[in-house]
Amino acid sequence: AQSVTQLDSHVSVSEGTPVLLRCNYSSSYSPSLFWYVQHPNKGLQLLLKYTSAATLVKGINGFEAEFKKSETSFHLTKPSAHMSDAAEYFCVVSIIQGAQKLVFGQGTRLTINP
Amino acid sequence: DTGVSQDPRHKITKRGQNVTFRCDPISEHNRLYWYRQTLGQGPEFLTYFQNEAQLEKSRLLSDRFSAERPKGSFSTLEIQRTEQGDSAMYLCASSLSRGLAGKETQYFGPGTRLLVL
């Protein structure tokens, strides 16, 4: 079965320092992987997606993620955190059975310290 | 492209009452999904529509839940005889499927937060 594990429930960094949000996946075939961000009282917004093209995926707002098959990981990074990055981040794997059902991780809450 | 909209944004109801939520997808998106998100958890798949046909329902969707997409555009999710355990955020997403497995992107609405007292 397809699943994702987000290794940290809460990450706290200082503004201007790098961000690393960790995600491991389990999939019986080549997966499609996504990172979504959820700001309070707002909908989920797609940051980036991997669909078997380039292993280094660039997303919006300076985020990127690298697909590492050998490590079954899809960690999200950003070189320099901004206060507006504070939010809940979800790593997601898709199950393709007819339609594309998304399986979400538990989420990582990112806090940015001034 | 005005995005996915959901109405209402918040709903407070008493146990045993019926509630109905509406989702308006991005126009011309042929797939529509419903998810449920409880506090501190990631969203969980409930059901999806391909145009007006409801093609799959999760085991999470009890008999008290029903969803429709009558003309392949907007969708409604109704919960009958609500229970306190139904309290959650109900999220709608839409996508455009061109038949390429795994290539579609789901766009989410802001959600409807339900509180059952």
In angstroms, the CA B108 to CA A60 distance is 16
Residue B97's pLDDT band, with cuts at 50, 70 and 90, is confident
- For residue range B80-94, what is the model confidence (pLDDT) as tens digits? 999 999 999 999 999
Q: pLDDT per residue over B51-70, tens digit each?
A: 999 988 888 888 999 999 98
Q: How does pLDDT run across A73-86, given as a tens digit for each residue?
A: 999 999 999 999 99
Residue B48 pLDDT class (50, 70, 90 cuts): very high
**pLDDT-based confidence at residue B102 (cuts at 50, 70, 90):** low
Closest among A26, A5, A27 to A104, alpha carbons compared: A5
Shortest distance between the Cα of A70 and any Cα of chain B, in A, equals: 21
Which parts of chain A have pLDDT scores under 70?
Answer: 97-99
Residue B50's nearest CA partner among B96, B5, B92, B107 is B96
- Nearest-Cα distance to chain B for A45, in Å, is 7
Contact check, Cβ <8 Å, B105/A46: yes
Contacts of A60 in chain B (CB under 8 A): none
Instruction: Report chain A residues whose CB lies below 8 A from the CB of B102.
Output: 32, 51-52, 94, 96, 100
A28 touches chain B (CB under 8 A): no
CA distance B31 to B25: 9
